[in-house]
Structure 1
């Protein structure tokens, strides 16, 4: 019996499908965008874990649900604990107020649960 996809996995699949379609229609733009983001997320003075936490905070602040899901997974994939993720959410809420906190207490926590269950 095949396991039903959870919310977070569904959102990631929607994003991957969308970027795939965009890449077919606008290959040069997609290629350059992907190259740029790969360079931005390489280890440097900040490691990938730190960069994922920053990206998650920015995603929450900007209310970008696809990026919130994507970077919550990125945080988990790079070894962030739930406490580290939620602490980053708290810092974001210090700047973004209730809108940022609402994303942290709903979407981010749901993603942590979903991705933890799917492993």
Structure 2
């Protein structure tokens, strides 16, 4: 099946690449991957902050740190948790206030492209 994989767009390809890489890493380092996954699952569980708020924070950190795979992944997480395009872009605006031009460039390119790609993939 992997041989026939044809990404729908850049965002789809990035998520696929991340999942494939994570699978390979998990095979080679199962205990470390297990503990990392447990930790991140605990961090993203509903608490005082809801899951949408946590995804918006994660997206902001991803944009600030220029981590393209995390930007794609957490843009999807925001959408999956019901964040609107306006909420996502507002979170990116706050990030740009701290991260300057580098953060803004990710917000106006990759984040907006991901939002568009995810909308297209839903239809």
Q: Provide TM-score, normalisation by structure 2.
A: 0.94
Give the C-alpha shift of residue 4 in structure 1: 5.1
CA distance in 2 between counterparts of 1:4 and 1:109 reads: 18
Count of aligned pairs: 118
1:101 is aligned to 2:110: no
In the TM superposition, structure 1's runs of 4+ consecutive aligned residues that sit over 4 Å from their partners are none
1:38 is aligned to 2:41: yes
What do residues 9-35 of structure 1 show as CA deviations (whole Å, max 9, x unaligned)?
A: 110000000000000000000000000
2:80 to 64, 77, 81: 77
CA distance in 2 between counterparts of 1:47 and 1:64 reads: 23
Give the C-alpha shift of residue 5 in structure 1: 1.2
In the TM superposition, 1:2-81 aligns within 5 A as 5-81=8-84
CA distance in 1 between counterparts of 2:108 and 2:28 reads: 37
Unaligned runs of 5+ in 2: none
Residue matched to 2:94: 91
Q: Provide TM-score, normalisation by structure 1.
A: 0.97
RMSD: 1.2
Unaligned runs of 5+ in 1: none
